[in-house]
Copies of this chain bind each other. A is one copy, B any other.
């Protein structure tokens, strides 16, 4: 039984032959945060049938996107991780997320806000056209959790680092705080980023608070669209 394919000479359709099936890209999204056990993936993908997850994982392993490794551990038998090829899906996940951001409504009770995806959500919100060449580190201390955002400095003229590769996020709180910091909630950040609340309003109302040097705060405000009101992608 030959796997079904769009069968066109086109990069996008070839890609969708590999990652276009249901759930596949969400598995990638979760694996982008690091290796996971089967159960971790299942818990991070509520609503997905167990057999389907197993099936997808074997497909993705066959496609060379995912690597399965048996480990010696009392409470874990195997770890799934992305291969180098699988890591190349990060720009896809980010692009998809950027598109979806304006459609994202506030979480309801039946919409789990999974801890694992907070960093991805933050990375998605950053306005890449506002990245400063010099780079910056920002701690986001939100009600829903902590995220360290690192914008890698541009390496000078010549070959430029793609914008997406310059945005890095981590849920681990380093020993030392970043010089720039923002506190509040994901919802407030999202409202501002989506232009439904101005940055000034968010700060005045206390929904968000920032600290750090003047210049860094200015960069932060640009990165999350504090100055805009109109909705933008």
- Residues of chain A touching chain B, judged by Cβ–Cβ distance below 8 Å, are 6-20, 22, 25-26, 29, 46-47, 85, 88-89, 91-104, 106-107, 110-114, 117, 120-121, 124, 128-131, 133, 157, 159-163, 233
Contact = CB atoms under 8 A, between A and B. Distances in A.
Q: How many copies does the complex hold?
A: 2
A97 B12 contact: yes
A130 B162 CA distance: 9
B99 A88 contact: yes
Nearest to A159: B129
Contact of A8 (B93, B111, B130, B233): B111
Nearest to A64: B103
A99 B92 CA distance: 8
Nearest to A7: B111
Contacts of A14: 100-101, 103-104
A51 to B, nearest CB: 18
What's the dominant secondary structure at chain A's contact region?
helix
A101 B9 contact: no
Nearest to A111: B9
A200 B196 CA distance: 53
Nearest to A116: B10
16 contacts: A7-B110, A7-B111, A9-B107, A9-B112, A9-B114, A10-B29, A10-B120, A11-B103, A13-B26, A13-B29, A13-B100, A14-B101, A15-B96, A17-B100, A18-B103, A20-B22
Given A15-B103, A88-B99, A99-B89, A112 B159 contact: no
State the 7 A-B residue pairs at the shortest beta-carbon distance, nearest first. A15-B100, A9-B107, A11-B97, A95-B95, A14-B100, A11-B100, A12-B97
B12 A112 contact: no
Contacts of A163: 160, 162-163
B159 A100 contact: no
